[in-house]
């Protein structure tokens, strides 16, 4: 399946191109329905983009009061834990300078804190998130549909918290599900993730992969026969996807 691959100058170039794609995708959603829905990625690949969303003039082209912000995946730990993805999104973008303009009611973190407060587990949080997604998101071809989904890729080829060989790869019905703590990659924490099947209905997908350490995995994903059980990131090899690389991560192509 064809997909777009763009090699940027460096990590900052990846973030800049991602900003343009996010802005365009959200503006298209707002023009079509009066609102738009963005799913965030966690990890280091998002930090530079969050900084641009906070401060770059291009971000002001989006009417943020009409945007809903969601999470692609989250670690099942308290908000003050350094491995929480939502903590970074709040610190680096959503709460920075108080200038984002997204109403609090349109911020949709995975309800990890509510689960912990109630003594419930990641499965409870996934069930509540699935209900919220089904209630709020628009649909395209019968499936809930984000306007833009941001993704990173792990060195093992995972996207979201869908790891090689994990049940999340084959899930076709539930928007969010619990994931057991991985043993092969850090942090070794249970998680809640969007199911990758949602990518099929997304308006646009942006995969940000900096770093030479992932070059061989990038090449494997983009050039080998499709086997998502081995390389979940191949589920993001779609006509609606733009892969943003830099010379290091593109070196094996």
Minimum mean pLDDT among 59-73, 83-97, 99-113: which range? 83-97
The whole-number pLDDT of residue 97 equals 63
Minimum mean pLDDT among 21-35, 60-74, 93-107: which range? 93-107
* Average pLDDT over all residues of the chain: 95
The whole-number pLDDT of residue 52 equals 94
Q: How would residue 216 be classed by pLDDT, with cut points 50, 70 and 90?
A: very high
At CA 28, angle to CA 26 and CA 30, rounded to 5?
70
CATH class of the 4-245 domain in this structure: alpha beta
Q: How would residue 142 be classed by pLDDT, with cut points 50, 70 and 90?
A: confident
Sheet hosting strand 176-179, strand order edge to edge: 73-75, 191-194, 176-179
Identify the bridge partners of residue 75 per DSSP, sorted by sequence position.
191
Stated pTM of the model = 0.96
Q: How would residue 98 be classed by pLDDT, with cut points 50, 70 and 90?
A: low
Q: 26 and 62 in contact (C-beta within 8 Å)?
A: yes
Q: How far apart are CA 194 and CA 199, in angstroms?
A: 9
Q: How far apart are CA 174 and CA 212, in angstroms?
A: 35
Q: Residue ranges of the domains in the chain?
A: 4-245
Q: 214 and 228 in contact (C-beta within 8 Å)?
A: no
Total H helices, total E strands in the chain: 6, 12
176-179 and 67-71 strand pairing:
unpaired
pLDDT higher than 80, residue 99: no
Mean pLDDT of 172-180: 95
Nearest Cα to Cα of residue 161 among 129, 196, 131: 196
What percent of the chain is predicted at pLDDT more than 90? 89
């Amino acid at each position: 399946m064809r997909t777009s691959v763009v090699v940027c100058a460096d990590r900052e170039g990846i973030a800049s191109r991602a900003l343009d794609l996010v802005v365009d995708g959200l503006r298209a959603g707002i023009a079509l329905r009066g609102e738009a829905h963005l799913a965030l990625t966690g990890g280091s690949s998002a930090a530079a983009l969050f900084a641009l969303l906070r401060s770059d003039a291009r971000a002001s082209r989006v009417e943020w009061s009409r945007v809903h912000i969601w999470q692609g995946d989250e670690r099942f730990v308290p908000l003050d834990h350094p491995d929480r993805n939502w903590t970074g999104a709040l610190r680096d973008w959503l709460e920075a300078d108080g200038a984002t303009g997204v109403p609090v009611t349109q911020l949709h973190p995975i309800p990890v804190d509510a689960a912990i407060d109630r003594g419930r587990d990641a499965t409870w949080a996934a069930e509540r998130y699935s209900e919220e997604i089904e209630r709020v998101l628009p649909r395209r071809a019968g499936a809930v549909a984000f306007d833009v989904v941001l993704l990173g890729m792990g060195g093992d080829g995972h996207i979201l918290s869908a790891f090689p060989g994990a049940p999340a790869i084959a899930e076709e019905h539930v928007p969010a599900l619990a994931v057991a703590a991985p043993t092969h990659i850090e942090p070794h924490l249970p998680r809640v993730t969007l199911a990758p099947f949602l990518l099929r209905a997304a308006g646009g997908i942006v995969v940000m992969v900096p770093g030479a350490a992932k070059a061989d995995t990038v090449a494997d994903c983009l050039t080998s026969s499709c086997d998502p059980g081995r390389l979940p990131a191949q589920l993001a090899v779609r006509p609606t996807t733009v892969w943003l690389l830099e010379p290091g991560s593109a070196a094996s192509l």
